[in-house]
Chain A
Amino acid sequence: MSTYPLLSFAIWIPIVAGLAVLATGSDRNAPLARMLALFGAIVSFLVTIPLWTSFDVANGGMQFVELKSWIPRFNINYHLGVDGISMLFVLLNAFITIIVVAAGWEVIKQKVAQYNAAFLIMSGLMNGIFASVDGVLFYVFFEASLIPLYLIIGVWGGPNRVYAAFKFFLYTLFGSLLLLLSLMYLFIHSGGSFSILEWHKLPIELGPQIWLFLAFLIAFAVKVPMWPVHTWLPDAHVEAPTGGSIVLAAIALKLGAYGFLRFSLPIAPDASHELSGLVVALSLIAVVYIGFVALVQEDMKKLVAYSSIAHMGFVTLGFFMFSSMGIEGALVQMVSHGFVSGAMFFCIGVMYDRLHSRQIADYGGVVNTMPKFAALFMLFSMANAGLPATSGFVGEFMIILGAVKFNFWVAFAAATSLIIGAAYTLWMYKRVIFGDVANDHVAELTDINKREFAILGVLAICTLWMGLYPQPFTEVMHASVNDLLRHVAISKIQ
């Protein structure tokens, strides 16, 4: 264990760096702002590496704990810690921030400082969510992270950005507010504690458990997003700039899923068992129905956005199998989706920067003009479709394996998504990349430059690494997942 506050660094270095970037002011200083942002993002990532290297894989509890009194009047503490479930997300988040800063390097020409600052600040806030052990601290980060994303969509987004930004903010705020009331209920029920770990041990009758579970479900389902509260996501994605989409898909969607593991399952285990059918049903609808919706999209970004919903449906499905296989599979799927969807949105961004269109119909034969790009894009499409040897396969495979034990027909329905997923991804890939050069615009395309190649290359390495050798990822989560399952197995009704 290190003696310096690693988690505080992970939270506050990007925020302070963001404020520093903001201070560079107008676009005259844009090069400085970019350099500073990249520097800040890299430093923020470097400080999180010891989280993994000195992580004790045998320990299922909270590690790197920091505990300071924050608001003694309500017994609210600045209580940080990560376990095997959250540690990887802190790293993933810090890593994605570098990608995002690099992705906006030449593309963002207006309000450069504000753009980069918003992403850095959001990165810090999201690390705060994953590292909070105190309920109010969690909530504060959870809600505060809406502000930068609202601005990112609204300021740098597409033509319909205002509608999308409002919809995003109000939907997620609605969910958050119910979460807040649940936290207050638990505070009073526990006799004055906001510690999430204390709540895990709290006996609660079935009635209140069900209400709590439903409040959590709404709060996190909006964020995941699950069918039928998913409608804000395609809007947000389509309007958001590339960086916004990457962060949204790679990190922000994980917050909701993470909430299930941190709140719903361990605090209301009996209600979770009681209502698992509901969540499983909603997840399967997301997997199958949304998969079909993705199939008919004409906008590439929308297609990937819907595929995100389907993939996240897989994640929630994995959680409610109540087996270590299912939950670990879901966690792997989440990390993998972070790489793959981030890369997919970046690829679409690359094409959009050149042609200013995301319509599939405007493309065709891109492989002839952008061979390097086509090769990398293929890898990510395959990963998105869940091809073995890519990260996308590992998670889906584990979840389906878990599902078979749970209920054959659930597993059967889930497995159809492998076909649907392959269908919409590969069909899109075929229409965009292969065939004859469709029009003059495509003929004039230039292949990816060094910066874009570096970004996609790094993501490709991650995707393959996770696909070929997932053990370092599953190893760190194992003890914590077992710990969690022990909580879920014990009834809280007394």
Chain B
Amino acid sequence: MFENFVVPDLLPAAPEMFLAAMALAILMIDLLVKDSRRTVTFALTQLTLIGCAAIQFGTSTGEIVYTFSNMFVDDLMADLLKLFLYMTVVIVLFYSRTYVIDRESMNKGEYYVLTLLATLGMMVMISANHFLTIYIGLELLSLSLYAMVAMNRDSVASTEAAMKYFVLGALASGLLLYGMSMIYGATGTLEITAIAERLYGGGVNKTVLVFGLVFLVSGLAFKLGVVPFHMWIPDVYHGAPTSVTLLIGSAPKLAAFAIVMRLLVNGLITMAADWQAMLIILSVLSMAIGNLAAIAQTNLKRMLAYSAISHMGFMLLGITTGVVSGDARYALNAYSSAMFYVIAYVLMSMGTFGMILLMAKAGFEADNLDDFRGLNKRSPWFAGIMLMLMFSMAGVPFFIGFFAKFSVLQAVVAAGYMWLAIVAVFFSLIGAFYYLRVVKLMYFDAPVDETPLTAGLDMRILISVNGLAVAFLGIFPQVIMSLCAYALLRSL
């Protein structure tokens, strides 16, 4: 009776299952908790994430393990990305705590449950080995985020941003699905590793495949937020409540990196010549438009949104240079540089949005550039932290951003794309201008209001640690660099 029902190996997916169960449990528990006791929900959420990390450690074998009929994969790349993901979400929740409490309509249990579900979506994306798994993960993430963007119901901007995000996000999902269906049509399978084998075997209808690839790359580009599929980024970053912007601007980049790797590198590596050309165009456009448009912004969140576009463009450079004229010798170096870049970017992005949250008060968002005017007078310490974050984003040593850019550029030069490296460097220079402007506002201008900063002790400590980590890892980048390289070596 049960011969068709094979119990899958559940162990590789243990963190996902634990998180899903806890998310549902927390949803229930929250119903019994009074509004004033919301800390319980918060604490449970954090414990869940820490629990996930513990399970991840406990169940990791270091080998590539497939489960659920090869729909799900657990390898070192997934383990590493997920651990960074948990850490990011834990910190994001700490940063958002005061902000959320200060805003009536956001201080609900749903906020935490949705965060957990978004995290689950990202975890599924990271571990997906099947088009449907990717799609499920992606939709779980996106739907949670749509709801979270709209959570501040009284804000017109938030509602508008959520609407925009939803419509465009649905369109992107459509593109992705369409691309997937075409690749299915060409290869007859949805499983990523099987697709790679089919393509390697040859005899696949190339026209359909390339069409599929174009749609797939468009969908991915949308999710990464690179030009010309970037238009939602500034509006969503700007319109969303800052705590949600913080979430959107950090953790999903890790998941997006993972699906790019899974789809393009694990699945379609034989098509590298085709997607490479597309990605190069996307990345050059992103660096150009992201950096140029950021200069014109007066709102810090919008500026960071454009800077995110340029950073993702820069990251793509690492992925594009993995294969040079069919030679995969550069792969490990290039992909690990992109991975290091993403991790470094998440760390920096968290810190900068954290700074905005630190400065925000009830009824005051602190998201205009002018709100940072004279910060050095009000709080030299936090101005110093912001200074480090900005210089790190600009890629100036001794901060992690420098070595992130260094490793990507090194991969690009090693692959022989000197012109691409020069273009990247040129736009980094333009990018430096608007990061410098933030430093200028903080240090060279007089403050508008002199009141000292008020924020919780946990927030102050975490932001300080985050800022110092940017400096510390800029002096000792070796550990994370090697981790990335090792994880990819064991996963590719």
A residues with CB within 8 A of B = 25, 70-74, 111, 114, 136, 139-141, 143-144, 146-147, 150-151, 154-155, 161-162, 165-166, 169-170, 173-174, 177-178, 180-181, 184-185, 187-188
Asked whether B425 lies within 8 Å of A155 as measured between CB atoms, the reply is: no
B432 CB within 8 Å of chain A: yes
Nearest to A69 among chain B residues (CB) is: B478
Known A140-B398, A154-B440; judge A185-B413 contact (CB<8 A): yes
Contact of A71 among B391, B436, B443, B481 (CB under 8 A): B481
Q: Can you report 23 residue pairs joining A to B where beta carbons are below 8 Å apart?
A: A25-B380, A71-B477, A71-B481, A73-B481, A73-B485, A74-B410, A114-B376, A140-B402, A141-B397, A144-B396, A151-B439, A155-B443, A155-B444, A162-B440, A165-B444, A170-B432, A174-B429, A181-B418, A181-B422, A181-B425, A184-B414, A187-B410, A188-B414
Known A177-B429, A188-B414; judge A71-B478 contact (CB<8 A): yes
User: Does more than half of chain A's interface fall in helix, strand or loop, or is it mixed?
Assistant: helix
User: Does more than half of chain B's interface fall in helix, strand or loop, or is it mixed?
Assistant: helix
Asked whether A162 lies within 8 Å of B444 as measured between CB atoms, the reply is: yes
Q: Which residues of B contact A165 (CB under 8 A)?
A: 440, 444
User: In the complex, what distance in Å separates the CA atom of A233 from the CA atom of B418?
Assistant: 31
User: In the complex, what distance in Å separates the CA atom of A25 from the CA atom of B377?
Assistant: 11
Q: Which residues of A contact B432 (CB under 8 A)?
A: 169-170, 173
Q: Which residues of A contact B397 (CB under 8 A)?
A: 139-141, 143-144
B residues with CB within 8 A of A = 376, 380, 391, 396-398, 402-403, 406-407, 409-410, 413-414, 418, 421-422, 425-426, 428-429, 432-433, 436, 439-440, 443-444, 477-478, 481-482, 485
Chain A nearest Cβ from B110, distance in angstroms:
43
Contact of A147 among B391, B426, B429, B482 (CB under 8 A): B391
Q: Which residues of B contact A114 (CB under 8 A)?
A: 376, 380
Q: Which residues of A contact B398 (CB under 8 A)?
A: 140, 144
Chain A nearest Cβ from B481, distance in angstroms:
5
Chain B nearest Cβ from A211, distance in angstroms:
9
Asked whether B425 lies within 8 Å of A180 as measured between CB atoms, the reply is: yes
Chain A nearest Cβ from B295, distance in angstroms:
12
Contact of A73 among B409, B418, B478 (CB under 8 A): B478
Asked whether A70 lies within 8 Å of B478 as measured between CB atoms, the reply is: yes
Asked whether A154 lies within 8 Å of B444 as measured between CB atoms, the reply is: yes
Asked whether B396 lies within 8 Å of A143 as measured between CB atoms, the reply is: yes
Asked whether A188 lies within 8 Å of B436 as measured between CB atoms, the reply is: no
Q: Which residues of B contact A169 (CB under 8 A)?
A: 432, 436
Nearest to A137 among chain B residues (CB) is: B397
Q: Which residues of B contact A71 (CB under 8 A)?
A: 403, 477-478, 481
User: In the complex, what distance in Å separates the CA atom of A143 from the CA atom of B396?
Assistant: 7
Q: Which residues of B contact A173 (CB under 8 A)?
A: 396, 429, 432
User: In the complex, what distance in Å separates the CA atom of A376 from the CA atom of B449?
Assistant: 47
User: In the complex, what distance in Å separates the CA atom of A114 from the CA atom of B443?
Assistant: 11
Q: Which residues of B contact A72 (CB under 8 A)?
A: 478, 482
Asked whether B422 lies within 8 Å of A166 as measured between CB atoms, the reply is: no
Nearest to B399 among chain A residues (CB) is: A144
User: In the complex, what distance in Å separates the CA atom of A180 from the CA atom of B407?
Assistant: 12
Q: Which residues of B contact A187 (CB under 8 A)?
A: 410
Nearest to B412 among chain A residues (CB) is: A184
Chain A nearest Cβ from B383, distance in angstroms:
10
User: In the complex, what distance in Å separates the CA atom of A178 from the CA atom of B403?
Assistant: 16
Q: Which residues of B contact A74 (CB under 8 A)?
A: 406-407, 410, 481
Asked whether A150 lies within 8 Å of B436 as measured between CB atoms, the reply is: yes
User: In the complex, what distance in Å separates the CA atom of A155 from the CA atom of B443?
Assistant: 6
Chain B nearest Cβ from A236, distance in angstroms:
14
